[in-house]
Amino acid sequence: MSELVTGAAYVEAITSLDSDRRARAAFRDLVLRIARPGAAVFDFGAGPGLDARFYAERGFAVAAYDIDPNMCEFFSTHCREFIETGQVVLYQSSYRQFLARNELAERRVDLVTSNFAPVSYIADLRELFAKFHALTRPNGQVLACVINPYWIRDLKCPWWWRNTLRLWREGYYVMPGPLPTFRRRLANYNTDCAPYFVLERVFPGMPTEGASAVDGVNLSRGIGHAWLRLTSCQFIFLLFRKQDNLT
pLDDT of residue 245: 84
Residue 87 lies in a domain: yes
pLDDT of residue 3: 62
Residue 78 lies in a domain: yes
Check: CB of residue 64 under 8 Å from CB of residue 49. Answer: yes
Say how many C-beta atoms besides its own lie within 10 A of residue 132's C-beta.
23
What is the rounded CA–CA span in Å between residue 1 and residue 169? 28
DSSP letter string, 117-143? SGGGG-S-HHHHHHHHHHHEEEEEEEE
pTM (predicted TM-score): 0.94
Strand, coil or helix: what is 66?
A: strand
Residue 118 lies in a domain: yes
Which of 46, 39, 53 lies closest to 85, judged by CA? Answer: 53
Number of domains in the chain: 1
Check: CB of residue 147 under 8 Å from CB of residue 235. Answer: yes
Residue 121 lies in a domain: yes
Residue 84 lies in a domain: yes
Residue 72 lies in a domain: yes
Q: Pairing mode, if any, of strands 61-66 and 88-92?
A: parallel
Residue 247 lies in a domain: no
pLDDT of residue 247: 60
pLDDT of residue 209: 57
Q: What is the pLDDT along the chain (247 residues), one digit of tens a residue?
A: 446 788 888 888 889 999 999 999 999 999 999 999 999 999 999 999 999 999 999 999 999 999 999 999 999 999 999 999 999 999 999 999 999 988 777 779 999 999 999 999 999 999 999 999 999 999 999 999 999 999 999 989 999 999 999 999 999 999 998 889 999 999 999 999 999 999 999 999 987 654 445 678 888 777 777 777 889 899 999 999 999 987 6
| Residue 160 lies in domain | 7-242
pLDDT of residue 211: 45
**CATH number reported for the structural domain that contains residue 202 in this entry:** 3.40.50.150
Residue 1 lies in a domain: no
